[in-house]
A and B are shown apart, each in its own frame.
Chain A
Amino acid sequence: MNRITSLFRQKKEQVLSVFFTAGFPALQDTVPVLTALQEAGADLVEIGMPYSDPMADGPVIQASNTRALGNGMSVELLFEQLKDIRTHIHIPILLMGYYNPVLQYGVEQFVTQAAAAGIDGIIIPDLPLQEYEQQYQQLFQAHKLSNVFLVTPQTPEDRLLHIDRLSTGFIYIVSSSSTTGNQQQQQGHDSYFSRIRQTPLQNPALIGFNIKDQESFRYACQYAAGAIIGSAFIRVLEQADDLRPAIHAFIQQLRGAAEPLPSVPHRQTATL
């Protein structure tokens, strides 16, 4: 079974998904960050594929994209970095990025390689529903890859149900009025979150955008299976002197419960 589906079968609440940019802060940090997140207790991760023009992202993620590209990150290199992760990473992994780099890589090749590397799902925010349905749905299904779509408060009921039918894994709930990392209050979205909770959806939902600390995480978890944290985590990576303890401390603070730091750091066998 797809690891995302399996996760949501076992865990119905307080699911924590963490987003980070591949090749950031340093080119070879992708796998160490992923490893530390698993150790620290993240339930799933979204690895961002950097893009030169990330139009739905705020300054923090933009800057991480620019730096990762400057480090030499690419889709090709990301697959190289991820090829042996399933030897030690068991949590679900999604790749998230803009459509153009995926299109240039070749959607079929991208999906095939992602599945081969043990990736569980893909999020492409600027891929239109119709294009997915007509051109790629079968391809994704054949490779047992989840495709996750975003919904906003302005997404009408019929479209929400359409998105739900096309989605596998989970639905990504965002605020319509926010690029990533925007410091808006979540409070006030209660009616929106409630409406989604009351809609009979086949997929669980995660709330993304504006989650930054324990309080906002807990607030989101009242309305959905869990929440996604992105910009706040990128900021931690940006400022950390030593990534692993910083990641552990951040996840602990977010969860509000101590997950012990294993005494012997798990080192991935160097493949690059």
Chain B
Amino acid sequence: MSKYNITEDGYYGRYGGAYVPEMLYPNVEELRQQYVSIIESPSFRAEFEKLLTDYVGRPTPLYLASRLSEKYNATIYLKREDLNHTGAHKVNNTLGQILLAKRLGKTRIIAETGAGQHGVATATMCALMNLPCVVYMGETDIARQRPNVERMKLLGAEVRPALSGSRTLKDATNEAIRDWINHPSDTYYIIGSVVGPHPYPDMVARFQSVISREIRQQLLKETGHENPDYLVACVGGGSNAAGTFYHYLQEEQVKLVAVEAGGLGVHTGKTAATTTVGTPGIIHGSKTLLMQTRDGQIIEPHSISAGLDYPGIGPLHAWLFESGRGKFYSATDEEAYQAGIQLSRLEGIIPALESAHALAALAFLPLIPSDTVVVTLSGRGDKDLQTYIDRGGY
């Protein structure tokens, strides 16, 4: 175990922990006591791996993006999480958690969602496992992510609008937590990112770690080396980044690049660049970096991408930032949007706007021709078509 792994108490450095009211303590404690033994059991692993292969469509390709490589004068691979069933990396985690929920004897599933990708992935798994599903989604996000709302409904989930606060992802998370408090025994809460009280950040990172496990194998086969020079991923809560970095945390020569949503610019007040404007505090049960006022009230983030529109980051990322292990950049709405168009034109791949932030950071890295870079393309852009259309200019 190295300093980047979670401690027994559920901390990464000084970040993490489980700051939950007593009403949630039994649920969180039950999970804490059981998650490792369940997810490391042979029967769990077998079922998880089989469904990842047969149902999700893994392994996802590691694609050498030649024209993008030419553009940035380095060797650039894309880890194609966009090719997963449901169109993003989110499904790796929802599959893992629903299998865990079943083993815990839970009969009802709840989730929060921002852009709707985690909600769709959860609704999909609930349909597959025949479990009732309630997805909380901010009223504002329901309006701007209509296709995903309809997908969830089509899959049989109930989408409940979060009407409190700014009516976006953080409020949907609050509503899901309240639902869990009100249904402590039968309900399992599938958190969509590496956030929330311990053990969620570690559990979600483990389920997403399939991304870096595959990168290692694929890169070795492709180049003869397991290690790239750079791994690049976008960070909202940070689940695709956690999965991308997971098996490389100890490989100090591999540079871990996390890209946050700069919004209109990190100093405009319309941003989601938590490591730039955030300070340590507690959000959704975890000690981490978050955007807050001097009084400790949580500030509304802004991003063109609903999936990055979250005022905190997972505690692992707060620790990677603070320890210097991770290099954090931010890309503005416009930079991400242009990077999305660029990938569409160069490689014939329309990326999700979340993933476009990771692509935008290629311009910021001091790349040299011998560098090998892996960018995780966390999701596809279909859900963002309306945003692309509204912005125009392509």
Contact B174 A53 (CB under 8 A): yes
Contact B283 A100 (CB under 8 A): yes
Shortest CB distance A60–B (Å): 12
CB < 8 Å: which of B165, B182, B282 contacts A103? B282
Q: Which residues of B contact A (CB under 8 A)?
A: 17-23, 25-26, 164-165, 170-171, 174, 177-178, 181-185, 279, 281-285, 292, 294-298
Q: Residues of B contacting A76 with CB < 8 Å?
A: 295
Contact B25 A126 (CB under 8 A): no
Q: Residues of B contacting A135 with CB < 8 Å?
A: none
Contact A53 B170 (CB under 8 A): yes
24 pairs, CB–CB < 8 Å, chain A vs chain B? A53-B165, A53-B174, A53-B284, A55-B21, A55-B177, A56-B177, A56-B181, A69-B297, A98-B282, A99-B19, A101-B295, A126-B19, A126-B20, A126-B21, A127-B19, A128-B19, A152-B23, A155-B25, A176-B23, A177-B182, A178-B23, A179-B178, A179-B182, A182-B182
Contact B18 A128 (CB under 8 A): yes
Q: Residues of B contacting A198 with CB < 8 Å?
A: none
Q: How far is the CA of A102 from the CA of B17 in the complex (A)?
A: 17
Contact A174 B164 (CB under 8 A): no
The 8 closest A-B pairs by CB, nearest first: A104-B296, A101-B296, A154-B26, A125-B21, A150-B22, A52-B297, A100-B296, A56-B21
Contact A58 B292 (CB under 8 A): no
Contact B23 A126 (CB under 8 A): no
> Provided the pairs A55-B174, A103-B281, A104-B295 are in contact, do residues A177 and B184 lie with their beta carbons within 8 angstroms?
yes
Interface of A is mostly: loop
Q: How far is the CA of A54 from the CA of B164 in the complex (A)?
A: 10
Interface size class of A (residues with CB under 8 A): 35 or more
Q: How far is the CA of A247 from the CA of B352 in the complex (A)?
A: 54
Q: How far is the CA of A76 from the CA of B295 in the complex (A)?
A: 8
Contact A179 B20 (CB under 8 A): no
Q: Residues of A contacting B296 with CB < 8 Å?
A: 51, 75, 100-105
Does A30 sit within 8 A of B, measured CB to CB?
A: no
Q: How far is the CA of A68 from the CA of B181 in the complex (A)?
A: 24
> Provided the pairs A52-B297, A76-B295, A126-B282 are in contact, do residues A177 and B22 lie with their beta carbons within 8 angstroms?
no
Q: Residues of A contacting B17 with CB < 8 Å?
A: 128, 131
> Provided the pairs A104-B292, A126-B282, A179-B178 are in contact, do residues A53 and B298 lie with their beta carbons within 8 angstroms?
yes
Contact B22 A155 (CB under 8 A): yes
